[in-house]
Amino acid sequence: MTPQIEDIARHLPEPVPMGCYKKNDCIFLLKDISSLIKEQGNEEREKAIQSGVHYSEMLPIEYMPSPEYTELFHNTLAETAPLIARYVAIVGEQILKWRGKNTVLVSLARAGTPIGVLIKRYIKYKYDLNLPHYSISIIRGKGVDENALIYILTKEGTENIQFIDGWTGKGAINSVLVEACKNFKDKYGVSLNHDLAVLADPAQCVKFFGTREDFLIPSSCLNSIVSGLVSRTVLRDDIIDKFDFHGAKYYSQWEDIEVSNLFVDSIARYFPDVVVDSSSLSPAVDVPNTGIQDIKRIQEEFGIDDINKVKPGVGETTRVLLRRIPWKIIVDHMDNPNLEHLLLLARDRGVAVEVYKKMSYSCCGLIKSVK
């Protein structure tokens, strides 16, 4: 490590106990700001965001699912668990094949965290390798948490990091990660591999993926209760100091309703049934972001002034309905089985749903202009 990194590392805190995962599953490198920030309603946040306030300076009020929605989550998890187990295995095999046995798994909070836990568990089950797994913050427009990266580099003594997320939408976070790794090298002289591993890559912009189908990952249906009881990450000068990690709330009061461990346990039990021939996996190659062409077409055809108001894919559309102010939802067809939860949310919130077939995604959420 460079002297600059070693100097910063001396000032960094040890991680605080956070999240509801089992102790060996994940270490959250986040500052607990549970008493320092109050959630805001979607309409208040949307007005602030569209007026120039960065989304990472606020937290949404967490959506508490209805009994009907909760039942839908459990049914979807039961139906898709074997398939997700296979996708997890494919990504796990890719990581071992091209990153090796001394890899440090670093998931991007919070959608990446459940997938990182599953990949860690698969590698432990299949190869009896207990790879370190951390969850850290990355924020569009602000980059990755450099303090968290420095902590990992000094703690693990290696630069062999594999970043993990849940899925790709437009590919924005992938672009943020590429730029963040470039900035980290310029600043600290350390080269990190920016290749992102995801369960689903409908944007077709990353090298390591389980599938490129835009399908429903059940963890995208819910918020903190399926992601370790941790909020979205926060970066605000008045509560995050120079040597702090990025912040997040820990909703320990919901431990009796969390399904984070149920989610990973339900999928991991299918690992013995999964057979993936790692020798048949194609070599990782650079890929174009083909999804962005769909986004630009949608932006133009629907007269949307800001491309950030177009949120493609099942995961991102779900987020629009849970914590933004939607204008409308467009879907490839109404009987797509991946969209049942979205149609339920749209109905409950009074959001129009329109069929639009000229996209490779299953759906897309369009955010309302509230200026």
The predicted-structure confidence for 193-237, as pLDDT tens digits, reads as follows 999 999 999 988 898 999 999 988 999 989 999 999 999 999 999
Residue 32 belongs to what H/E stretch? strand 31-32
One-character DSSP codes across 338-357: GGHHHHHHHHHHT-EEEE--
The predicted-structure confidence for 345-366, as pLDDT tens digits, reads as follows 999 999 999 999 999 899 999 9
Instruction: Give all strands (DSSP E) within 145-228, no chain letters.
Output: 161-167, 196-200, 208-211
Residue 268 belongs to what H/E stretch? helix 260-268
The predicted-structure confidence for 289-323, as pLDDT tens digits, reads as follows 667 888 999 999 999 999 999 999 999 999 999 98
Q: What are phi and psi of 126, to 5 degrees?
A: -80, -40
Rounded to an integer, what distance in angstroms lies between the CA atom of residue 333 and that of residue 330?
9
Rounded to an integer, what distance in angstroms lies between the CA atom of residue 345 and that of residue 326?
11
Share of residues in the chain with pLDDT > 90 (%): 86
Average predicted confidence (pLDDT) for the chain: 93
- Size (the chain), residues: 371
Question: For the whole model, what pTM was predicted?
Answer: 0.94
